[in-house]
Amino acid sequence: MSALLRLSHVTKVYRQGGLLGRRLITAVKDVSFELGEEPEILSIVGESGSGKSTVAAMILGQTVPTEGELQFAGKTVAIHNRAERTAFMKEVQPVLQNPFEAFNPLKRVDRYLFETARNFSAGKRPDRQQAERMADAALVHVGLTLEEVKGRFPHELSGGQLQRVAIARALIPQPRLLVADEPVSMVDASLRMAIVNLFGRLKNELGLSIIYITHDLATAYYVSDNIIIMRKGEIVERGRARAVLDDPQHPYSRALKDAVLAADFSAAT
């Protein structure tokens, strides 16, 4: 069966310390799952230290698995040089946790959009006007316009606006997959559902698959098609999001659900 993304028995072990005090830490252990060709939102949920961000880093090619294999569009993810990195990032784009860390405070945000348009455009490198049109089209998808952000520095935008600019930047290469690692944890609570709703629209309007990494069970319940729950580097439960979270089977999954305030969980229905 064809798959957009496939992880097969992936393990990541880190070595810490010097020669006399070295120890091995298994961040991810024997993780396997896949995304099909049809667009979907897959949430990977777990507490800090569960291994979910390490999985995201491996999917993005930022770290290499100790064991196992990752495939994207039928090809093993293996990035050895800048050209391979650029080609891969045309297909797979990150959305980071803290938008203020994604932008240099001394650099205007529109420059990031224009540079992305020039670096990741298929075919001939676009000129300034073409890059502006590409940036504006991406911003419209996230509820902004180029006029609203042009010439502005990161501190002149709210956290919610800046995160939407970061998402727009990720859309410019027209990727097939977004990997969003805790994308709403640094956003004001009143704006979190707006970002989550945006992911749902992008999936439907652009045919985009999204891996949503989060500790927030309520937003995962609301936005996900499928869900994976991780604990201590391992998958403990998976399946259709509503089925898993309405009736969790693993004790850890039940504990996570019980820890969510009933009001928060029902608000996501």
Domain locations along the chain? 102-174
Residue 263 clears pLDDT 50, i.e. is over it:
no
| Closest listed residue to residue 37, CA positions, set 176, 173, 174 | 176
Contact 169, 161 (CB under 8 A): no
Residue 150 in tokens: 């042009």
For 60-75, what is the mean pLDDT?
A: 94
What are the tens digits of pLDDT across the range 118-141? 988 766 788 899 999 999 999 999
Give the strand pairing for 209-214 and 234-240.
unpaired
Residue 113 is predicted with a pLDDT of 96
> Rounded to two decimals, what is the model's pTM?
0.91
Specify the higher pLDDT residue, 259 or 196: 196
Q: Where does 122-164 show beta strands of DSSP type E?
A: none
What are the tens digits of pLDDT across the range 100-122? 888 999 999 999 999 999 988 76
Q: What are phi and psi of 39, to 5 degrees?
A: -60, 140
Residue 20 clears pLDDT 60, i.e. is over it:
yes
